[in-house]
Chain A
Amino acid sequence: MAHDGPHIVPKSVLLRVFGGLIVLTILTVAVAYVPLGPLGVPVAIGIAAVKASLVVLFFMHLKYDNPVNALTFTIGTIFVIVFVAITLLDTAFRGDLGNVNQRTVQEIQAEQERAEQRNEALPADSLRIAPADYPDQERGASMSTEGGS
């Protein structure tokens, strides 16, 4: 097959990419010390994505490669995003119509304990879905509120 030799990524390009990766690594560590609030996670993932793209495009040669390989990798990446995003669509909105409690029983109980310690009443809505105030040992305790006139 008469093809004109393999494509070679110049050493200078490889070194420059490596330099970029190191700079970005320092950047992401530095940024971790800056209080960004809710932006912290997206910024860190953004920097990681840029680093990954550098590796994919230059170290992995995808920039110069057959487009089918690039398409393959893109599709793989898209499905990872789909997997994460759609699962979060459930977990972030768990209990949105009230047919499932957003919080676990453990969490509710922990909150009740804290409330008891503060000697406070619980928020009304957590009582509504989690009627743990009539546990077995106090059967009939709330009868007066139910049956009394």
Chain B
Amino acid sequence: MATETAPAPTETDGAHDHPAHLEHHFVSSKQQFDSAKLGMWVFLITEVLLFSGMFVAYAVFRQWNPEVFVAASNTLDQMWGTINTVVLLTSSLTVALSIHYIKQDKVKQCVYYLLSTLGLAGVFMVIKYIEYTAKFEHGIYPGAAFDPHGAHYEHLAGMAAAPQFFSIYFVMTGIHGLHVVIGMLVIGAIAFMAWRGSFSSEWYTPVELTGLYWHLVDIVWIFLFPLLYLI
């Protein structure tokens, strides 16, 4: 390749600054942003397929034991479920607003809405904790420890597939809750970075990607809520 060492034409180079966030192997900020976003979408569908396994388990056991699933579902607290749905939907709105503002360089509002999201996620987890402990008190555990007692739950003891319902319930909401916790950590970090002024309308990729992740967590709950609590 000795013949190819002539310096490259540099006519456009001088006119172009090299933003700090641009990694060397990308040609432009747009390419980097588009790549990151496509990467995130691809990651999101892996998440969707991860949850799909549990939806399949739910569908199969529900189809085999529809009455048991209805009976078991009725022991879940619809009020807490509905409140949590509203909480998560609101947190989705706040995260969307934080992206809305960072695109306009309004860093303060962005941080404010990110922190709101964090707070709502915290509320969601607290409610989840209340629900879990209420179940544990009555011997509703996943798996072998399943031993329902108490007036509201006793009738589950003799039902063939009731343990399956609650196993699926705990696994689904547990893995979903794990995603909420991870989301909280990420949102916290992003809020901190935003507060430090790391983001602007020029570069806000991490905020955007975190938002996408958070919306997916919301979408999963949108399906979990009716399946587990309502029908």
Contacts and interface: CB of A to CB of B under 8 A. Distances in A.
Contact of B60 (A80, A91, A106): A91
B219 A80 contact: no
Nearest to A59: B96
Interface stretch (B42-50, B119-127, B137-145, B181-189): B42-50
B5 to A, nearest CB: 28
A99 interface: no
Contacts of A96: none
Contacts, number: 131
A56 interface: yes
B38 A32 contact: no
B90 interface: yes
Interface stretch (A17-25, A117-125, A129-137, A139-147): A17-25
Contact of B96 (A9, A51, A66): A9
Given A40-B231, A83-B52, A8 B226 contact: no
Interface residues of B, number: 50
B92 A59 contact: yes
A93 to B, nearest CB: 11
Interface stretch (B28-36, B146-154, B166-174): B28-36
Contact of B226 (A48, A55, A65): A48
Interface of A is mostly: helix
B129 interface: no
A11 B223 CA distance: 26
Given A1-B30, A84-B56, A87-B59, A55 B64 contact: no
Nearest to B64: A91
A18 to B, nearest CB: 4
A60 interface: yes
B227 interface: yes
Contacts of A3: 30
A57 B90 CA distance: 16
A80 B223 contact: no
